[in-house]
């Protein structure tokens, strides 16, 4: 289900306690060139607005729901994600803080993954973003092994009493972007994230057939993830151009399935 409209308006029309998982990446207020939305609010206005949106999300979430909030700052505005998460402390428990690693360099092998160079001499390249896992109680049980990884030392399986060759992935997720050559390959949207990011969030929450909401649906990646995970997706997007892109992607995925 995809709604074209303002998220606060649409959220106000949704039933309370009807959503299991929220996975979203809102505008970061960094001057990104969206189509309909102006990403240049005064910082105080942006924080007020995001708090309003988050309160509206809390109302539609089930008591055992999960809210996965993907956000990042910039080299010149590094405090913004932390200012927001401190503001949301009034309304949610920060149950987990995941670092989404987009590019990493180890040893002499060079960088692996998406690397967006930073000019000048003051700042390092920014190769990660935040995924804040917010809940209402801090007691939400997760299916950690749904996104688990195999043991490097297989003797740990029996020696430590594990039922399978999987352990918790932890709170650093390496999810690179696919390489693209043109904006059209990103559906002409300036702020997409890889499909695996919302898929892992949905799996981690661990509820079969969950209702998944993205109030900033953009080109529909969260809805595609919900479709792939057998969940029911609800998206809200203010820009009709991005809604059309999301509808086309969902239609193609349904045909492929």
Tens-place pLDDT, residues 32-41: 888 888 888 9
The per-residue b/e assignment along 70-83, b for 16 or more CB within 10 angstroms, e otherwise, is bbbbeeeeeebbeb
Predicted local confidence at residue 184, as pLDDT: 60
| Rounded-to-integer distance, Cα 98 and Cα 100, Å | 6
Closest Cα to residue 68, out of 217, 205, 168?
205
Does the pTM exceed 0.85?
Answer: yes
Model confidence at 161, in pLDDT bands (50, 70, 90)? confident
Question: Torsion angle of alpha carbons 141, 84, 26, 142, nearest 10°?
Answer: -10
Give residue 112's pLDDT band: very low, low, confident or very high (50, 70, 90). Answer: confident
Determine phi and psi for 167, rounding to 5 degrees: -135, 165
Whole-angstrom distance, CA of residue 234 vs CA of residue 238: 14
pLDDT band at 55 (very low <50, low <70, confident <90, very high): very high
Average of pLDDT values for 171-179?
A: 90
In percent, how much of the chain has pLDDT > 90? 75
> Mean per-residue pLDDT for 116-130?
88
Sheet of strand 93-101: strand arrangement: 2-4, 232-237, 211-214, 19-24, 61-71, 128-135, 93-101, 172-174
Let me know: does 51 contact 86? Beta carbons within 8 Å: no
Q: Give mean pLDDT, residues 175-189.
A: 69
- Report d(CA 56, CA 165) in Å as an integer: 40
Which one, of 218, 233, 225, 250, lies nearest residue 37 by Cα?
A: 218
pLDDT 10s digits, 187-237: 667 778 999 999 999 999 999 999 999 999 999 999 999 999 999 999 999
Q: What is the DSSP letter of 72?
A: -
pLDDT for position 186: 59
Domains of the chain in sequence order: 2-104+125-151+164-256 (3.40.50.150)
CB 142 within 8 A of CB 204: yes
Q: Are 97 and 133 in contact (CB under 8 A)?
A: yes
pLDDT of residue 91 exceeding 80, the answer is: yes
């Amino acid at each position: 289900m995809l709604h074209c409209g303002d998220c606060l308006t649409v959220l106000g029309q949704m039933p309370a306690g009807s959503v299991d998982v929220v996975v979203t990446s809102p505008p970061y207020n960094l001057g990104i060139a969206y189509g309909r939305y102006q990403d240049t609010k005064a910082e105080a206005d942006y924080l007020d607005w995001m708090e309003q949106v988050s309160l509206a999300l809390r109302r539609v979430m089930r008591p055992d729901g999960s809210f996965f909030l993907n956000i990042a700052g910039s080299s010149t505005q590094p405090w913004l994600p932390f200012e927001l998460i401190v503001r949301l402390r009034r309304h949610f428990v920060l149950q987990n803080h995941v670092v989404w690693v987009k590019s990493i360099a180890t040893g002499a092998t060079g960088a692996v993954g998406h690397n967006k160079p930073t000019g000048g001499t003051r700042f390092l390249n920014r190769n990660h973003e935040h995924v804040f896992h917010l809940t209402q109680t801090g007691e939400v049980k997760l299916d950690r092994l749904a996104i688990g990884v195999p043991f490097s030392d297989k003797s740990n399986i029996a020696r430590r009493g594990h039922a399978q060759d999987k352990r918790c992935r932890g709170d650093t997720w390496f999810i690179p972007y696919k390489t693209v050559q043109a904006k059209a390959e990103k559906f002409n949207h300036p702020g997409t994230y890889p499909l695996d990011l919302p898929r892992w969030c949905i799996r981690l929450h661990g509820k079969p057939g969950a209702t998944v909401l993205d109030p900033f649906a953009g080109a529909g990646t969260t809805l595609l993830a919900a479709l792939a995970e057998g969940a029911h997706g609800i998206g809200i997007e203010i820009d009709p151009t991005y809604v059309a892109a999301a509808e086309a992607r969902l239609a193609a995925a349904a045909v492929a399935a």
